[in-house]
Structure 1
Amino acid sequence: MMMHMRMKFHEQLDALTDRLALMCRLAGEAIETATDALVNADLPMAERVFDLNERIEELRGPCEEQAMALLALQAPVARDLRQVVTGVHLVTDLSRMGGLVQHVAESMRRRHPEHVASGEAEELLSRMGRVAAELAGLAERVLRTHDPELAAEIGRRDDELDDLHRRLLTLIQDPSWIGSIPAAVDITLLGRFYERFGDHTVVVGRRVIFLVTGEQLNP
């Protein structure tokens, strides 16, 4: 009986992990789609982002319910407890990633049919989007493998995104920049959305390291 309960518990944990990894994969697909929409001023592509974010939110409820049921019914301890609690926190992180991507799509939709950015600013935003999508891919792999070395790699790759963000801000603050004030506001916000998306993937990695080692990492 006890063995059966343990097997059932770990089956449910695996199902929770699969849902979390799917949320992460959808967020990565959404950030890539949103970036394509931004660069191409493609409204139908932007609308697809909203569909992807809706799928992320549809997974949030079942993940939270499953995690709470595991806590209430199984009373896990040690690493099992860490895994369930980590899952609860990850649901929030992954949902926020979806929300940030939606903000990118909303910015593009608001300015359509015009481009939100142009020239070097658009190129930097495009590169930020590509790096953000790669970070989401890394985070998904970390969720599936629980590999702490891969989790640490997310932090290193996020440094590249932070560097692009600094370059973007430097560009629009340069007195020689000829863009309008509304464009500067849009670009500033977009850069922040991408930067925060990357930060959440780093948090995913840190949570997995905590799950594996039981040690909290400093930000």
Structure 2
Amino acid sequence: MTLNNVIEAILLAAEKPMSVDQLVTLLAEDELKPSRDDVKSAIAEIQQRYQDGVMSLAEVASGYRFQIGSDYAPWVGLLQEERPQRYSRALLETLAIIAYRQPITRGDIEDIRGVAVSTQIMKTLQEREWVRVVGHKDVPGKPALFATTRQFLDYFNLRSLDQLPPLAEVRDLDEIGRSLELNLNLAGSDDAGEEEVASQGAVSPELPQDKTLH
């Protein structure tokens, strides 16, 4: 049994991305006992083998995972028993602002959007683990500072925030999330009455064009 085959099997079975260090630790007691360089080399060879296939071995913030190419999304989507809910324009605008201006307070987000940000939006982003509180701004009231998480990077197939498109080149969040992981559904708010949950005909928003974002 080769190291390549073992790592391929592990990553295919893993529920979450796995890093090189995690793979080394997992196999430390195995007879293979690979080094970090061994694992990196195996991953590179696996990536090369899959590069023209239906699946690819992608690197995201948390490590490596197999995923189906976005070209096959229409057919893979046929497996879904229910149409996944989509997030509202307001929520996606808020997420985009946080991604590009982090760390940022809720008040600053509202200043950029020009409207209030509902508690439900912030709750949903945090429950989804895309956003978290990273500190408090040193002003009266000590408002919370929000930033994106490693889960956000993983979901949007990013290794780091440096991979976000330059804001001047982006006009909607679809460009940021074009390679969304196919086996995750976008979940709306549990409160069906909240206007923040998008209707089936909703579209992803344009990013705020406020110059303060640049």
Q: TM-score, normalised by structure 1?
A: 0.26
Please give the TM-score of this superposition, normalised by the length of structure 2: 0.27
Higher strand proportion: 2
Larger relative helix fraction: 1
Instruction: Tell me which of the two structures has the higher relative contact order, counting C-alpha pairs closer than 8 angstroms and 6 or more residues apart.
Output: 1
